[in-house]
Structure 1
Amino acid sequence: MTNSGSAFDAATRIAAGDDKTRYDNFSVALHWATAFLVLAQFVTSQTWGWFGRPTHHTLVVAHMTMGVLLTAVIVIRLVWRLTPGHRMAPIATGWMVIASRAVHWLLYLLLLSEAVLGWITRWSEGRAMSFFGLQIQPAFPAWSKAEHHAIMERHEQVGWVIVVLALLHALAALYHHYALHDRVLVRMAPWLRA
């Protein structure tokens, strides 16, 4: 009876669209680490101009350190996602699946681009990248001021696009949770109730 009871319970949950699947703990940790680092990167870059030394310098160094961490998290996250067994079947159907996949891959592409632009921005002025005080020396000679400012502007523009897209991504997850009452958000935030 127990075996058939649990099979019936599982079938009932599946019929109700609730198969109790969620992302693995490592995927969840990588997702929220990415979200935290993107937000922290944005806040530091938008506020360091408000302060003089030494706070300004501390925020710039923190931004670089978190940028190196974010680069590592993005690479690990992509490798993990592309490894078999770590992809989830979509809950939504039709255009929602296409939109969801497009936004996810666009965010990955933008995050990778932003990481590369961050490294190039720092190195293009002939200065080392700082990672918890460790100086990572430039891989190429300094660029002209005009070239440096152009790449710095691109870095800032891509950052804004990431923040806007991430905000839309978060709003879509909240819409799924509160309006559609599905498990899209719960699969990445298992501490929430469906």
Structure 2
Amino acid sequence: MSSYSRATDRYTKPAIFFHWAIFLLVALAYLAIEIRGPRGSDSRIFWTGVHFWAGTLVLGLSVLRLLWRLWAGAPAEIENNRLLAFLARAAHLALYVFIFAQPLLGMLMVNAGGRPVSLAWTNISFTLIGADSIARPLLRDAHELLGNVFYWVIGLHALAAIAHHVIFKDRALKRMI
């Protein structure tokens, strides 16, 4: 079921909210992990909590975003060039994989280390899997690798939006603002 008419090429307000809220939370998660400080410090405990909180919210909002996308649809593609249309679809698919896989890998990594995931400033904690000394380093490496790869994918996504606005002079960026 699509709530988009041929008269509009903008995303719906909920789709725009999910996009920008997830963007801000991903940026916060990256910031928190980069500035967290040395092991055992109060700074590291605080920023690690922020990282977990942001990652968990990314996953929750991602589920809602996907459900909204399936229910409401999306505006028609604006790409006339088949290669650019393919690259846009591939990038969006990669971003969706990222916003689901990255938080899940982080949660599984924490659980495999024998700890529940605790949400910052709440009494909520949960365990998806038990402790596993073999899986933990594999999950950590996958979480870190995916995080590093997505610095680039996110950057390319932002550059593509700017290119659409400045070079192609189309409405691709304005549809999500």
Instruction: Give the TM-score taking structure 2 as reference length.
Output: 0.88
In the other structure, the counterpart of 2:123 is 134
Moved more, 159-168 or 176-185: 159-168
Instruction: Flag the structure with higher helix content.
Output: 1
The residue type paired with residue 136 of structure 2 is H
Cα distance, 1:53 vs structure 2: 2.0
Aligned residues: CA RMSD: 1.8
In the other structure, the counterpart of 1:62 is 50
* Post-superposition CA distance 1:98-119 (Å, at most 9, x none): 1111110111112211121011
In structure 2, how many angstroms separate the alpha carbons of the residues matched to 1:174 and 1:81?
23
Q: Would the aligned equivalents of 2:116 and 2:126 in 1 still touch at CA under 8 Å?
A: yes
Instruction: Give the TM-score taking structure 1 as reference length.
Output: 0.81
* Post-superposition CA distance 1:111-151 (Å, at most 9, x none): 2111210110111111121113223232332111x531221
In the other structure, the counterpart of 2:77 is 90
Cα distance, 1:21 vs structure 2: 2.7
Cα distance, 1:20 vs structure 2: 5.1
* Post-superposition CA distance 1:79-109 (Å, at most 9, x none): 11111x3311011122221111111011111
In the other structure, the counterpart of 2:105 is 117
Q: Would the aligned equivalents of 2:165 and 2:171 in 1 still touch at CA under 8 Å?
A: yes
* Post-superposition CA distance 1:68-88 (Å, at most 9, x none): 1011011111111111x3311
In structure 1, how many angstroms separate the alpha carbons of the residues matched to 2:140 and 2:51?
14
| Paired positions, count | 170
In the other structure, the counterpart of 1:181 is 169
Whether 2:108 is the aligned partner of 1:102: answer no
Q: Would the aligned equivalents of 1:24 and 1:86 in 2 still touch at CA under 8 Å?
A: no
Q: Would the aligned equivalents of 1:111 and 1:162 in 2 still touch at CA under 8 Å?
A: no
In structure 1, how many angstroms separate the alpha carbons of the residues matched to 2:43 and 2:67?
36
Whether 2:34 is the aligned partner of 1:40: answer no
Q: Aligned to 2:35, what secondary structure does the other structure show?
A: helix
Residue in structure 2 matching 1:156, options 144, 147, 155 = 144
Moved more, 92-101 or 117-126: 92-101
In the other structure, the counterpart of 1:78 is 66
Q: Which runs of 5+ in 2 are unaligned?
A: 1-5
Q: Would the aligned equivalents of 1:177 and 1:185 in 2 still touch at CA under 8 Å?
A: yes
Q: Would the aligned equivalents of 2:162 and 2:173 in 1 still touch at CA under 8 Å?
A: yes
In structure 1, how many angstroms separate the alpha carbons of the residues matched to 2:158 and 2:38?
28
Q: Would the aligned equivalents of 2:108 and 2:129 in 1 still touch at CA under 8 Å?
A: no
In structure 2, how many angstroms separate the alpha carbons of the residues matched to 1:86 and 1:27?
10
In structure 2, how many angstroms separate the alpha carbons of the residues matched to 1:185 and 1:163?
20
In structure 1, how many angstroms separate the alpha carbons of the residues matched to 2:151 and 2:66?
19
Which runs of structure 1 show a deviation greater than 4 angstroms over 4 or more consecutive aligned residues? none
Q: Would the aligned equivalents of 2:29 and 2:55 in 1 still touch at CA under 8 Å?
A: yes
In the other structure, the counterpart of 1:168 is 156
Whether 2:124 is the aligned partner of 1:147: answer no
In structure 1, how many angstroms separate the alpha carbons of the residues matched to 2:77 and 2:22?
21
